Chains A and B, each alone.
Chain A
Amino acid sequence: MLQIIFIIPVAQLLILAYAVTFEIKNVRFITIDHDRSTHSKKLINKFNGSAFFEYKGNAENYEEAEEMIISDKADQVLVIEPGFGKKLNTERTGSVQVITNAINGNAASLMSAYATSIIADYNREIIIEQNPVNFTGLPIDTKPSFWYNPELDYITYMVPGILVLLVTIIGMFLSGMNLVKEKEIGTIEQINVTPIKKYQFIAGKLIPFWVIANIDLAFGLVIAKLVFNIPIIGSLPLLFFVASIYLVVILSFGLLISTLTNTMQQSMFISWFFLVIFILMSGLFTPIESMPQWAQMIDTINPVAYFIKINRMIMLKGSGFMDFQREFWILIVYAIGMFIFSTMRYRKTA
């Protein structure tokens, strides 16, 4: 069991950090080149040369192109009109069409943005080519600067969140299954005829898992640093302090579920119900700010969301206590509330 407790988080971290990404790479792209001029070849070469695009060949017509999209062999089609190169040379204007498979709206807008930027790049080259003397650049020059994650590395953003996930899953399941397991095998009956105080029993259940989850977190942080080279800018003691409070919330939550259920199956089912909602709404994958108002209201009781936010702030921005005071006090109230609630719900009667 002990090995499982440590192998699972490592596996989660290694798999999720690489797999859970919204970056689009290797867009499979085809063309319908009605022009076949040097200009059209050049444009296609620009796509081909980009790291994001993987050129899958030329289709003769729309039907053939659509067939490739339907059979999932292509994501994007670049249509070049007949006479495109000639028009560019004579009329200094030409048009292309970009067709994107938009079943996944997020991915589609990214792919479309990539394509647009490549075409814009080509546009600029043409302007310079045609007018090398007068070109002094575009009127507004934008120089983006990406703070806290200069390489726009998705893993940097994801790993602090995934660390929260793994202590949450470990904590919730270990505590949720443990007490109900005693109900199933009958040892709880023996405990219930002893004079042990309810809070002592719940604390006795909570503390070992609290220690294990904290060690798991430390373990995860080491891997984050060694394998993913995630910056840990803020204070580690502060991180563990917040984690300790957060774990009381999660463990009490798990214990509460197991006081309310009679079998491991029920406990598992209810734990999953809450975990899935908490995790999907935690802001790990999608920003909470872009959720609808009602969903944000629900998120005010989502402990996972609070800790992911704090963890990202501490690890990536180096935020101090004052920066996430509000979230911290909410977690404190939550922790005390859940502990008392689970203690009250534990009945020493049969």
Chain B
Amino acid sequence: MNKNDHIIEVRDLVKRFGSFTANDHLNFTVSKGEIFGFLGANGAGKTTAIKILSGLSKPTSGVAIVAGFDVAKYPNKVKKNIGYMSQHFSLYDDMTVKENFRFYGGIFGLSRKSIREKTEYYLEKLKMQNFRNMLLKQIPLGWKQKLAFSVANIHEPAVVFLDEPTGGVDPITRRQFWELIYDSADKGTTVFVTTHYMDEAEYCERVSIMSEGRIEAIGSPGKLKEEFGVNTMDEVFVQIARTPLDPPIGGTDRGNSFKKQVN
């Protein structure tokens, strides 16, 4: 694959829950090795889209191809080729750092030797060699997030999905976290990341901004700022992502959808 190959390809993706449309005809592509920021206000439909792309949930209609496989048809093949880190902390608190690596490495069918090497590699990179036998619950949040990212990369996935990976993390650790993201993108892993921090949006090569289930803008941060005639991504975001609390435009239906979203 060269840089122009699309590792994620989404065509007319729709996801409905009853009468509520969470994803309304999404269309976009992400290239191999790209850092793609997937932005939007709370409840805009980002998590729903990530769940579909990672094979957790089936689309109502449309096609999503991730790492060469249709997510609706071959969810398990997709899962083999992706890493995932959710906004809920996802490592096991009652296992040690080493055990978490071994556990997830084992699930992806890595050999003992390769798990050991990977564990050492990441611990060294994170400068956490002394933490290897510590229980996860004894480790501060920011460090845990870096570990979670490393574990999500242990099987060298084609794409790694990060759902608000830096929520609640201090600015310094966030910066370190983004260094990890760049490292992994340099090695050819595509990074698909959602965030609410607009400074992080600037770090992405391209971003899309969702509002009420639709992608309203897509492009590099520089291009978007130019398009909207503003100086920061923050302003771009505010212009696009009307909060659902704004008075409904299309009658009561939107109000109802908002209630469902919140629930």
A interface residues with partner B (beta carbon < 8 Å): 185-187, 189-196, 348-350
B57 touches A193 (CB 8 A): no
User: Interface residue count for B (Cβ, 8 Å)?
Assistant: 25
A349 touches B58 (CB 8 A): yes
Query: B80 at the A/B interface (Cβ < 8 Å)?
Result: yes
Which of B58, B76, B89 interacts with A195 by CB under 8 Å?
A: B76
Q: Could you say which residues of chain A place their CB within 8 Å of the CB of B88?
A: 185-186, 189
Query: B21 at the A/B interface (Cβ < 8 Å)?
Result: no
Q: Could you say which residues of chain A place their CB within 8 Å of the CB of B84?
A: 190, 193
Which of B51, B90, B107 interacts with A187 by CB under 8 Å?
A: B90
Q: Could you say which residues of chain A place their CB within 8 Å of the CB of B80?
A: 195
A185 touches B93 (CB 8 A): yes
For the complex of A and B, 6 pairs with smallest distance between CB atoms: A186-B88, A190-B90, A193-B84, A350-B56, A195-B80, A195-B79
> Please, could you name 26 A-B residue pairs with CB atoms under 8 Å apart, sorted by A?
A185-B88, A186-B89, A186-B90, A189-B56, A189-B86, A189-B90, A190-B85, A190-B91, A191-B107, A193-B55, A193-B82, A193-B84, A194-B104, A194-B107, A195-B76, A195-B77, A195-B79, A195-B80, A195-B107, A196-B107, A348-B56, A348-B75, A349-B56, A350-B51, A350-B56, A350-B57
* Residue from the set A186, A187, A350 with the largest chain B CB neighbour count within 10 Å: A350
* Residue from the set B82, B90, B93 with the largest chain A CB neighbour count within 10 Å: B90
Q: Could you say which residues of chain B place their CB within 8 Å of the CB of A196?
A: 107
Q: Could you say which residues of chain A place their CB within 8 Å of the CB of B92?
A: 187
Q: Could you say which residues of chain A place their CB within 8 Å of the CB of B56?
A: 189, 192-193, 348-350
Interface of A is mostly: loop
Task: Say how far A239's CB is from chain B's closest CB, in angstroms.
Answer: 33
Q: Could you say which residues of chain B place their CB within 8 Å of the CB of A189?
A: 56, 86, 88, 90
Nearest B-chain residue to A347, judged by Cβ: B56
Nearest A-chain residue to B152, judged by Cβ: A190
A195 touches B108 (CB 8 A): yes
Query: B189 at the A/B interface (Cβ < 8 Å)?
Result: no
The CA-CA distance from A186 to B91 in the complex, in Å, is 9
Task: Say how far A190's CB is from chain B's closest CB, in angstroms.
Answer: 4
Q: Could you say which residues of chain B place their CB within 8 Å of the CB of A193?
A: 54-56, 79, 82, 84, 161
Task: Say how far A129's CB is from chain B's closest CB, in angstroms.
Answer: 77
What 10 additional pairs, Cβ within 8 angstroms, besides A190-B90, A194-B108, A350-B51? Answer: A185-B88, A185-B93, A186-B90, A189-B86, A189-B90, A192-B56, A193-B161, A195-B76, A195-B108, A350-B56
The CA-CA distance from A186 to B82 in the complex, in Å, is 18
Task: Say how far A259's CB is from chain B's closest CB, in angstroms.
Answer: 16
A190 touches B86 (CB 8 A): yes
The CA-CA distance from A274 to B65 in the complex, in Å, is 44
Nearest A-chain residue to B92, judged by Cβ: A187
Q: Could you say which residues of chain A place their CB within 8 Å of the CB of B91?
A: 187, 190
Per the 8 Å Cβ criterion, residues 38-88 of B in contact with A are 51, 54-58, 75-77, 79-80, 82, 84-86, 88
Task: Say how far A211's CB is from chain B's closest CB, in angstroms.
Answer: 18
Nearest A-chain residue to B56, judged by Cβ: A350
Q: Could you say which residues of chain A place their CB within 8 Å of the CB of B58?
A: 349
Task: Say how far B89's CB is from chain A's closest CB, in angstroms.
Answer: 7
The CA-CA distance from A191 to B76 in the complex, in Å, is 12
Per the 8 Å Cβ criterion, residues 15-56 of B in contact with A are 51, 54-56
Q: Could you say which residues of chain B place their CB within 8 Å of the CB of A186?
A: 86, 88-90
* Residue from the set A190, A192, A193, A350 with the largest chain B CB neighbour count within 10 Å: A193
Task: Say how far A321's CB is from chain B's closest CB, in angstroms.
Answer: 38
Nearest A-chain residue to B87, judged by Cβ: A186
The CA-CA distance from A191 to B104 in the complex, in Å, is 9
Nearest B-chain residue to A1, judged by Cβ: B94
Nearest B-chain residue to A186, judged by Cβ: B88
B90 touches A194 (CB 8 A): no
A194 touches B79 (CB 8 A): yes
The CA-CA distance from A189 to B90 in the complex, in Å, is 8
The CA-CA distance from A330 to B6 in the complex, in Å, is 54
Task: Say how far A262's CB is from chain B's closest CB, in angstroms.
Answer: 14
